[in-house]
Chain A
Amino acid sequence: MLAYMIRRLLWTPVLLAIVSMVVFVLGAYGPGDPVEVRLGQNYTPEAAERLREQLGLNDPIAVQWGRYVWSAIQLDFGESFVFQGRTVGEVLGPRLWVSAQLNIAAFLITVGFGLPLGFYTAKRQGTWLDPSIVLVTLALMALPVFIVAPFFIWLFALQLDWVPVSGWGGFFDRRIIMPAVTIGVPGIAVFTRLMRASTLDVLGQEYIRTARSKGLAETVVNYRHIARNALIPIMTIMGFTFAGLFGGALITELIYGIPGVARIALDSILARDFPIVTAFVLIGATMLVVGNLLIDFIYTVVDPRIRLQ
């Protein structure tokens, strides 16, 4: 098992190198030039040439990529083309941290409501509560963010005056509430339905009947035998959620004025700020690899059936 883990970890840098190469090739052969975006409409060709030289854009693409990989190995991801004199870390770092906190808060809402609701509806299968709850969560999921967010602002900020209209003050600031709810609530439906299906699956298992026939209290059966087993398949989805930890939610960020990562990612693509774009893609790829690896590892810990195979 350990050897398998190490082998997969060793492949990660190779994978990242390939991903970065794809970004480089797309940047070099796609339309658009970072120098022209930076200089706008009025500049001399000599000035553009000097800037291109300074940014190293005149070298062959293979040389540029090689240089990037070499610096990246030393954890130097270069400087932004747009924010002059600022490293990629300086530009992306604070925004990644903001997005991560917001995503964690949203995740807590999604899971905090989704899992209990799913469990509850499974236990009430066949009653009117089951389809009603699923319907409500699906309706909440169907509401687009550009309707929900302005409505929240109108209701909670302007009418009730509970929270400011926008801004960011960290995880424990009340301004996180509206964006976290906006991002977190649509996901409730996903976890409700997954948990419901998973719980129903477990309910039909022989060992549940065995547990009940042993005379165990219903709460013990519920929590130790049903819920814990039902959670196992859901971890895969949580792994993917983890991979999106540093992803941004563009419209939510824009409406609530959250200094997160989505806006800078979009702006960087439009401005051909390749160092930022590349770093962002690499972070996404890394998170996906690490997330999957983590889930595989946790499976072997929590589910003896997998360890035996």
Chain B
Amino acid sequence: MRKSLFFWAAALVSVVAVACGGSDGSSEPTEQSTPTPVPTRASAPQISPDLQNGTPTDGSDTGPRSGGRFTLVYSDPPTLDPHLVVDGTSFGIVVELFSGLVSLDESLKIVPELAESFDVLEGGTVYEFKLRPNIRFSNGDPITAQDFKWSMERAARPETASAVAETYLGDIVGMKELINGDAGDASGIQVIDERTLRITIDAPKAYFLAKLTYPTAYVLNRENVESGGRSWTDDPVGTGAFTLAEYRIGQRIRLVRNENFWDRPAYLDEVLYNLSGGVSMAMYENDEIDITGVGLADLDRVNDPTEELNKDLVDTPAQFGVQYIGFNVAEPPFDDVKFRQALNLAVDKELISSQVFADLLEPAYGIIPPDFPGFNPDLEGLRYDLDRAKQLLSESRYADESSRPRIIVTVPGSGGSPGLDVEVIADMWRRDLGVTVEIQQVEWATYLQDLNRKRLQAWGGVAWQADYPDPQDFIDILFYSETQGNRGNYSNSTVDSLVEQARTEQDISKRVELYQEAERIIVDEAAWLPLWFDTDRKALLKQRVQDYRFTQIAIPKFKDVWVTDAQ
């Protein structure tokens, strides 16, 4: 194999990025230390078409075969307890080990998992699930409706201290009382018989089923959890395609095939997560791992068709997220809608994307990303129009520079670049509008605290990533006037009433219309400056690996993967 010195630059860039707290400005801070295309929770999937047809095999034998190992670089997951998961790193492993009633397929459709079917009754407030026959935990114990009731209640109990139980299970009748410690069980979860579970929610909510795909609703083995104490996840009994064979903190996680999996057992003998880091590009070239992301620094090299590595190059689908600069509309000068609109109109995102980011980022003019449920391809948004920007600025209350309050855009980081996009935008504002802004960089924990207290006047360097495939996760959570996620004090009574209607609207196309209408108002009022949607990224995948699915949202990846050199 021809090897080159070019990976140096990548090594340096990735190490420096980590040393500086993981924020390189062009992407949101994540826990990933090395550029792997693997997890961040919730981003969008769809396999690129060329992958679906399968990459060329060695020749002879074409069918999947059992055996072999897949190795990747990963980080230590904060938890393997499904009910406690709040981060993408934990999520990515938990979905291989555990599962719930329903799950998402690659096209983000909700499909039965451990339930073989379900009925929606009573105008959308009652869900009746029928479990598959003869399903078993990884240790051979049968899985019953009782296990599901116990598990969901366990997720909600105060002693479990799940941070997201209320978000994902709070719609179920009796759950709020259970979470607050006022009840012993949730009356909304009823065991009809061994295989039938009935869940009653407090109002017809179309997005409820999507929430059940989150690990908070996964089934656990009661005996395993109760006998294992605080460290039960060291030896977990699960329902996924794999089971945990070994976990050495900071070193490796090894998963092996679960022979009691309800569906066809996985092909791979084991999946090895290397947790100790390293330069993943070099490890890939040296055949130590099977997959790696490709950073900007290596892009030219791997795109070169004469390079050996070029044969391994694959596209990974865009993530479901949006990067933006947020405005606190309660603070001058952002309390003037014309001023906010002027700032939006003065930014030439097409130019920045092509000149600064090699078209790796797609300019965003709305909130909901492409391919995500509710995406509006016809949304006009506030596109670059400098004349109109100047006019709006002159009509605004802050037209006069001498009386304009000083503007600070805060970004997270620890001393590196605040992000090329933010720097260029600040420059465009200064040059074309005469609006001067300061960029202030603060370390991540401090940033988060100020953001949650709504103390930031304007903020950048972050992205919002979807947690479940429903537009409610963007529009309601970020812009409804009463939600915690609304960091900019945005409040519009029309948007509020549209969002309230959408929550209980059963007709899917009507719901989408409601959210799109709300989105249009939010965008036109310039509550944010939406910046970028992700576009496809590049990764390298060994050609021995077949049927590896790049997904936009954390769903089990390895159950269909096989390797051509097994045994």
**How distant is the Cα of A85 from the Cα of B158 in the complex, in angstroms?**
15
Which stretch (A29-37, A115-123, A190-198, A223-231) binds chain B?
Answer: A29-37
A7 to B5, CA, bound (A): 57
Contact residues in A for B357 (Cβ distance below 8 Å): none
Interface presence of A295 (CB below 8 A)? no
From B161, B164, B278, A43 is in contact (CB under 8 Å) with B164
Contact (Cβ within 8 A) B277 A254: yes
User: Which B residues, 178 to 205, have Cβ-Cβ distances below 8 Å to chain A?
Assistant: 179
Which one of B55-63, B440-448, B542-550 contacts A? B440-448
Choose among A42, A46, A164, A251 the residue that contacts B286 (Cβ–Cβ < 8 A). Answer: A164
Within 8 A of A (CB), among B127-144: none
Within 8 A of B (CB), among A31-83: 31-34, 36-48, 50-51, 54, 79, 82-83
A95: nearest residue on chain B (CB-CB)?
B250
Stretch at the interface among A210-218, A258-266, A281-289, A301-309: A258-266
Known contacts being A40-B86, A42-B467, is A50 close to B276, with CB within 8 Å? no
Residues in chain B near residue A37, CB distance under 8 A: 444-445, 448
Q: Does the CB pair B462–A41 fall under 8 Å? A: yes
For window 73-112 of B, CB contacts with A under 8 Å fall at 76, 78-79, 81, 84, 86-87
- In the complex, what's the smallest C-beta–C-beta distance from A169 to chain B, in angstroms? 10
Choose one: A159, A165, A250; the contact of B283 (CB below 8 Å).
Answer: A165
Cα distance, A270 to B414, chains bound together (Å): 10
Q: DSSP class of A's interface residues: helix, strand, loop or mixed?
A: helix
B484 within 8 A of A: yes
Q: Is the CB of B12 within 8 A of A44?
A: no
Q: Is the CB of A84 within 8 A of B445?
A: no
Q: Please measure, in the bound complex, the distance between the C-alpha atom of A98 and the C-alpha atom of B21, giving whole angstroms.
A: 23
Q: A73-109 vs B: 1/0 string, CB under 8 Å?
A: 0000001001111100011001100100000000000
Bound-state Cα–Cα, A150 to B7, Å: 8
Query: CA of A3 to CA of B442 in the docked complex: distance in angstroms?
Result: 50
Tell me whether B259 is interfacial, beta carbon within 8 Å: no
Most buried by A among B81, B274, B450, B452: B452
B19 at the interface (CB under 8 A from A): yes
A140 at the interface (CB under 8 A from B): no
Judge whether A13 is part of the interface by a CB distance below 8 angstroms.
no
B442 neighbours in A (Cβ, 8 Å): 31
Which residue of B has the minimal Cβ distance to A251? B15
Residue pair A154, B249 in contact (C-beta under 8 Å): no
A153 touches B166 (CB 8 A): no
Instruction: Write the chain A residue with the least CB distance to B485.
Output: A42
Q: Is B271 positioned at the interface, with any CB of A under 8 Å from its CB?
A: no
CB distance from A69 to the nearest CB of B (A): 23
Cα distance A39–B76 in the bound complex, in angstroms: 17
Binary A-proximity of B157-185 (CB < 8 A = 1, otherwise 0) = 01001111111000000000001000000
Give every chain B residue within 8 A of A240 (Cβ-Cβ): none
Contacts of B449 in A (CB 8 A): 31-33, 36
Contact A167 B462 (CB under 8 A): no
- Tell me the minimal C-beta distance from B63 to chain A in angstroms: 33
Which residue from chain B places its CB closest to the CB of A98 in the assembled complex?
B250
* Distance of A167 Cα from B163 Cα, bound (Å): 35
Chain B residues with Cβ under 8 A from A94's Cβ? Answer: 248-251
Q: Are B231 and A264 in contact (CB under 8 A)?
A: no
Q: Is the CB of A47 within 8 A of B166?
A: yes
Contacts known (A31-B445, A31-B449, A154-B5); A253 close to B21, Cβ less than 8 A = no
Q: A37-B444, A164-B286, A270-B21 are contacts. A259–B250 as well, Cβ < 8 Å?
A: yes
Q: Are A259 and B275 in contact (CB under 8 A)?
A: yes
Q: Contacts A42-B477, A42-B485, A251-B15; is A258 near B286 (CB within 8 Å)?
A: no
Q: Output the least CB separation between B447 and chain A (Å).
A: 9
Q: Is the CB of B276 within 8 A of A259?
A: yes
Are A258 and B8 also in contact (CB < 8 A) when A38-B78, A41-B462 are?
no
Contact A51 B163 (CB under 8 A): yes
Q: Determine whether the beta carbon of B278 is less than 8 Å from that of A166.
A: yes
- Chain B residues lying within 8 Å of A34, measured Cβ to Cβ, are 445
Complex: A82 Cα to B282 Cα, angstroms? 30
Contact A255 B166 (CB under 8 A): no
B163:A43 contact, CB within 8 angstroms: yes
Interface centre among B15, B285, B485, by most chain A C-beta atoms within 10 angstroms, is B15
Distance of A263 Cα from B278 Cα, bound (Å): 12
Across the interface, do B3 and A41 meet the contact criterion of CB distance under 8 Å?
no
Chain A CB within 8 A of B431 CB: no
Taking CB atoms, residues of chain A closer than 8 Å to B158 are 50
Please determine whether B278 and A165 come into contact, CB atoms closer than 8 angstroms: yes
Bound-state Cα–Cα, A33 to B467, Å: 23
| CB contact under 8 A between A256 and B79, given known A85-B231, A168-B251 | no
Contacts of B462 in A (CB 8 A): 41
A271 at the interface (CB under 8 A from B): yes
> A207 interface residue, CB < 8 Å from B?
no
A31 touches B446 (CB 8 A): yes
- Is B235 an interface residue, CB under 8 A from the partner? no
B230 contacts chain A at the CB level, 8 A cutoff: yes
> A83-B78, A158-B3 are known contacts. Are A150 and B276 too (CB-CB below 8 A)?
no
Are A165's CB and B282's CB within 8 A? yes
Residues 108-145 of A at the B interface (beta carbon under 8 Å): none
Measured between beta carbons, the chain A residues less than 8 angstroms from B337 are none
Across-interface contacts of A272 in B (CB, < 8 A): 445
Output the nearest chain B residue to A158 by Cβ-Cβ distance: B3
B565 within 8 A of A: no
Q: Which residues from B are CB-within-8-Å of A164?
A: 286, 288
Give the residue among B19, B163, B164 with the most A Cβ atoms within 10 A: B163
What mask results when residues 316 to 360 of chain B are scored 1 for a CB within 8 Å of chain A, else 0? Answer: 000000000000000000000000000000000000000000000
How many whole Å from A35's CB to the nearest CB in chain B?
9
What's the nearest-Cβ distance from chain A to residue B288, in Å? 6
Assuming A94-B251, A251-B15, what are 7 further A-B pairs, CB within 8 angstroms? A36-B448, A36-B452, A43-B167, A47-B163, A83-B79, A149-B11, A158-B3
- Give B contacts to A, CB under 8 Å: 3, 5, 7-8, 11-12, 15-16, 18-19, 21, 33, 76, 78-79, 81, 84, 86-87, 158, 161-167, 179, 230-231, 233, 248-251, 274-279, 282-283, 285-286, 288, 414, 442-446, 448-452, 462, 464, 467, 477, 484-485
**Interface set of A (CB-CB < 8 Å, partner B):** 31-34, 36-48, 50-51, 54, 79, 82-86, 90-91, 94-95, 98, 146, 149-151, 153-154, 157-159, 164-168, 250-251, 253-259, 263-264, 266, 270-272
**14 CB-based A-B contacts, threshold 8 Å:** A31-B450, A32-B449, A33-B445, A36-B448, A37-B448, A38-B86, A42-B485, A47-B164, A82-B78, A154-B5, A158-B285, A257-B277, A263-B277, A270-B21
9 closest Cβ pairs, A-B complex? A257-B278, A32-B445, A166-B278, A259-B250, A259-B276, A31-B446, A85-B230, A158-B3, A47-B163
